Structure 1
């Protein structure tokens, strides 16, 4: 793959990571999340390529 592709991919993934973390923290900030575990799912799509990629996991609330 080209260097331009690699750089654009890294930039996109960094943006996804940073903005997702901020959104999750904002959602949990004022909630009583102690002792709770939340199912989480992220979906990446590229409609023109027919790509749908899901990542699932869990996030534990703050103690």
Structure 2
């Protein structure tokens, strides 16, 4: 794969990671510790790429703040 491809893919994935973490942290803060303490939350990330017919789903669990 080309250097441009690698660079743009890494930049996109970094943006996804950083902005997703911020969104999760904001949601946890907004919900408050009483609503999140000791709870597990199911999470799902869906990646679609127009023109490539890609749909990639990642699921996991995020533990609430104590």
Answer whether TM exceeds 0.5 for this pair.
yes
Counterpart of 2:58 in 1: which secondary structure? strand
4+ residue runs over 4 A deviation: none
The alpha carbon displacement at 1:30 in A equals 2.7
Relative to the length of structure 2, the TM-score reads 0.92
Q: Where does residue 56 of structure 1 map in the other structure?
A: 59
RMSD: 0.7
Unmatched tracts of structure 2, length 5 or more: none
Counterpart of 1:35 in 2: which secondary structure? coil
| Aligned residues between the structures | 63
Q: Where does residue 44 of structure 1 map in the other structure?
A: 47
Unmatched tracts of structure 1, length 5 or more: none
Q: Where does residue 22 of structure 1 map in the other structure?
A: 22
